[in-house]
Amino acid sequence: MSLTIIKAGILDTIQDEGRYGYQHVGINPGGAMDRFSAQLSNCLLGKAMNAPVIEMHFPAPTIKFSKSTIICITGANFSPMVNEKQIPLHQPVLVNKNAVLSFGKVNSGVRCYLSILQDLRVKKWLDSFSTNIKAAAGGYEGRSFKAGDTIEYEEIAISDEGLKNQDFHVLPWRAAPSKNTLSDTIEVIEGPEWNWLTKESQHSFSNQSYTISDKADRMGYRLSGLQLTLNEQKEMISSGVGFGTVQLLPNGQLIVLMADHQTTGGYPRIANVVSGNLPALAQMRPNDQFKCRFTEIGSAEQKLIEQHQYLRSVQFASSFNIKNIVS
């Protein structure tokens, strides 16, 4: 059983939650940009949250499935279609053999995620399936998909009784996307060098709106706003950074490090985006604006716990529904 890339998109890669434990040797965690959506697509199929998924940007790929399977698409709304007929987001869909998945236009968001009921037959690299393009490792041959690529997946007997000679059949359970809605406010906590900023810059950071520049990708989002200044110019030893670290650049502007961030950095780390808000940030595009609002670590942890509990409840309920379809 396999899927074939009929037409490649702009950047289609296999991702999971990322690889950890190797930053000390210069290998970043990587992984899905919008981890909530990636996990949700798996949970709606009753799968492990960290199972590999396909992360897609627009223009997105055209994909053909060799045999009937169950798919789920979450995250950005790229108007997904099976054989030119619209299918929903955040809801499992049973597709027939030789069905073709395509995407029409962008309605919202930047990245969408495709999960397939059967596990993809790809090899782990350093404990993760995520694609590291710079290292040419992980995922599918360490790169984004090309037209003609064939990705094998495990064989599972699926009852196609619901198809009745149709191209697809939408299954009756779904998830509410409201748990990961976009917002014009991103919550942050103070970074190690927050107090390096002048009082005026600290006030400006908390009250101005930032615009995501066109220099925004999986490595980082450069922001445009009023210049921030330091109390004094200091030489800083390169220190550890992570997904969501907000750094002050020499020109007084900011960059938010994203999934493919470097492992260390030499710019002041004035703030960190809380993990629970990273999915919303990952779905923003150039010219989108947002404000930063400080929150407490306890509140940030509670937000992440609530997201995880929601995912677990979806996963638990979906696993029972899936058992009635597979044999």
pLDDT of res. 184: 86
**Helix, strand, coil share of the chain (percent; to 5):** 20, 35, 50
Q: How confident is the model at residue 181 (pLDDT cuts 50, 70, 90)?
A: low
Mean pLDDT of the chain: 94
What is the spatial distance between Cα 239 and Cα 23, in angstroms, rounded to a whole number? 12
57 residue type, one letter: H
Spatial separation of the C-alpha atoms in residues 218 and 214, rounded to whole Å: 12
Alpha helix segments (H runs only) across 91-198: none
pLDDT at 272 over 80: yes
- 73: tokens are 């698409």
118 to 48, 79, 130, 265: CA distances (angstroms): 11, 23, 17, 39
* Residue 20 predicted with pLDDT over 80: yes
d(CA 176, CA 184): 20
Whole-model pTM? 0.95
CA distances to 16, 116, 173, 207, 284 from 113, in Å: 11, 10, 18, 34, 15
Helix (H/G/I), strand (E/B), else coil: 297: helix
> Residue 177: what pLDDT?
64
Q: Where are the alpha helices (DSSP H) in 119-265?
A: 199-207
The answer on pLDDT for 178 being more than 90 is no
In the chain, where the domains are located:
2-179+309-323, 185-295
What is the fold, at CATH topology level, of the domain defined by 185-295? Cyclophilin (2.40.100)
